Amino acid sequence: MYAADNEAEGRVSVRYGLLALLDEAPSHGYQLKTAFERRTGGNWALNIGQVYTTIQRLERDGLVESVDIEPAGDDRREYRITPAGRAQLSSWFDNPVVPEAPARDELTIKVLLAVAAGDIDVTALLQRQRRASIEQLQAYTQRKAKADPKRDVAFLILLDALIFRTEAEIRWLDASDARIRSLSERAPAQHPSKETA
Amino acid sequence: MTTLVQLEGAARRFGSGHTEVTALHPTSLSVEAGELLAVMGPSGSGKTTLLSLVGGLDKPTEGRVVVAGQDVGSLKPRDLAILRRRTVGYVFQDLNLLAGLTARENVAIPLELDGRPLGEARSLANAALDSVGLASLGDRFPDDLSGGEQQRVAIARALVGGRQILLADEPTGALDSITGESVMRLLRAHCDGGGTAILVTHDAAHAAWADRVVFLRDGRLVDEARPASNPDLSTTAA
């Protein structure tokens, strides 16, 4: 859904996710992978390669260190957080997440281009998208209805994030629809881009 | 499957000739027992008209509306009133409850109008309050209940005595999202228990509790949505 900006954000989340886990107890790479997945509602898959790449970067930056004195293979090394790592983690939790630039997502661009093109049925385009988004929302809601409000808190919080993002998208579709509609009601022109009167 | 609500080319027009306004063009739609249907669309698209036709608050000017096997358009006023008291319950966004009556008395109203003995009405009202999780608040007056509790009392009243068809017009409109969700869980439970509900809403997150979402536009059904079979939850961490 938000593919364009997800990659960098994802890397940051994994980095702090692993730091947070190491802040609780020293761990091996594989333990970190499973704990991270459990914490994030069981639906945020990490591959083990990602875990090791992230740990190597954290180690390079002095935020974690290997517990073992003897060199061992990646899968047997245990890591712990350093004081510098703890300081950086605490500052991350203390500061809000502010997006650096608005997301450049495919849907926004598609709608803008369709409006500008003038010969595309924007109303139909918006409705196709609305239906797809509602169907996604229905699927999320089915999962939510089955979840246990006490046991599955992390999963429910994750689902809420997906649900509210999808809902925001639908509200934006409705608002775009209403804007286009109000233009065509005021003037006979079918498309805003051709409306010159 | 049992069809509880059926529209067969049902339309509602007001006025005639040059001043004719069509609130609902000929529409066909059926809703089965166990189904929760959500109706979405911009203001003025015909959502409330559709609900009024199903609830017997209005009659179609063309076509038929069949509710629990009865053709609403041809019912005598007395039979229509019986249909509303025994089969169909209504929940609105607000102004649902009478302030001078307790929660239990509010819930018992449709039964008393239907001539049921007081004792029976009272015990059915208690059962309905219990089903919405308010068994202990029957003696409270509406003003002493939160917005979410008041709406649950309204749902209890709409369902009391085993009414199968629940019609809800923006029932979550005045509630915050978590309280609104508890109302949707009740609607869902009613349908999972074999009843039917038709929900009119602007709120996509609440419409998403439905088995089917239909979209109205300028008095016409233009589209419908059913749950995606493969919910994409596997957000990868890049």
pLDDT digits (tens, 9 = 90+) for A42-77: 777 788 898 999 999 999 999 999 987 666 666 678
Q: Which residues contact B130 (CB under 8 A, 6 or more apart)?
A: none
Judge if B102 and B148 occupy the same domain.
yes
Q: Answer yes or no: do B152 and B180 share one domain.
A: no
pTM for this prediction: 0.81
Q: What is the CATH number of the domain that holds B215?
A: 3.40.50.300
Residues of A in contact with B238 (CB under 8 A): 6-11, 14
- Chain centroid to Cα A187, Å, comes to 41
> What's the alpha-carbon Rg for chain B, to the nearest Å?
18
pLDDT band at B237 (very low <50, low <70, confident <90, very high): very low
B41 — pLDDT class (breaks 50, 70, 90): very high
> What's the whole-number mean pLDDT along residues A135-162?
90
Question: Can you say how many angstroms the Cα of residue B190 is from the centroid of all Cα atoms in its chain?
Answer: 11
**Contact at CB, A136 and B222, closer than 8 angstroms:** no
Tell me the β-bridge partners of B36: B197
B83 and B176 in one domain? yes
User: Residues of A at the B interface (Cβ-Cβ below 8 Å)?
Assistant: 6-11, 13-14, 17, 36, 40, 43-46, 50, 127, 130-143, 145, 158-159, 162-164, 166-167, 170-171, 174, 177-178, 181
Q: What whole-number distance in Å separates Cα of residue A111 and Cα of residue A127?
A: 12
Half-sphere exposure of A153 (CA within 13 A, CB side): 3
Boundary-marking domain end, from B163, B186, B207: B163
Q: Which pLDDT value is given to residue A7?
A: 63
**B221 lies in some domain:** yes
Average pLDDT over residues B38-62: 93
Structure tokens given for B80: 């229509």
Whether residue B195 is found in the same domain as residue B78? yes
CA distances from B21 to B13, B14, B16, B40 (A): 6, 5, 8, 21
Q: Which residues of B touch A36 (CB under 8 A)?
A: 237
How far is Cα B166 from Cα B47, in angstroms, rounded to an integer?
A: 15
Question: B138, B163, B188 — which closes off a domain?
Answer: B163
Closest to B228 (Cβ–Cβ): which among A9, A136, A164? A136
- Clarify whether residues B61 and B2 are in a common domain: yes
> Do B148 and B175 have their domain in common?
no
Q: Are B157 and B110 in contact (CB under 8 A)?
A: yes
Q: Test B237 with A177 for CB contact under 8 angstroms.
A: no
Classify A3-94 by CATH class: mainly alpha
Which residues lie closer than 8 Å to B92 by C-beta, 6 or more apart?
A: B154, B168, B169, B170, B171
For this complex, say whether ipTM is above 0.85. Answer: no
Higher-confidence position of B154 and A12:
B154
Residue type, B94: D
Q: Domain-by-domain residue ranges, chain A?
A: 3-94, 106-194
- Is the domain of B150 the same as that of B181? no
Number of Cβ within a 10 Å radius of residue B226: 14
Residues B1, B51 within the same domain: yes
Q: Domain boundary residue among B122, B148, B163?
A: B163
Confidence of residue A192 (pLDDT cuts 50, 70, 90): very low
Mean pLDDT of A187-194: 48
User: Same domain, yes or no, for B115 and B42?
Assistant: no
Q: How confident is the model at residue B95 (pLDDT cuts 50, 70, 90)?
A: low
End-to-end Cα, chain B, rounded Å: 45
B235/A162 touch (CB, cutoff 8 Å), yes or no: yes
Mean pLDDT for chain B?
90
Structure token pair of residue B55: 């609830």
- CA B114 to CA A116: how far, in whole Å? 60
Average pLDDT over residues A76-104: 86
Please tell me whether residues B81 and B100 are part of one structural domain.
Answer: no
- List the domain range (segments joined by +) for residue B105: 93-163
Same domain, yes or no: B187 and B151: no
Write out the E strands in chain A.
27-28, 64-66, 78-81
> How many CB atoms sit inside 10 A of residue B223's CB?
18
For residue B43, which residues of chain A lie inside 8 Å, CB to CB?
A: none
Paired with B168 in beta bridges are B91, B199
Is residue B233 domain-resident? Answer: no
B104 three-class SS: helix
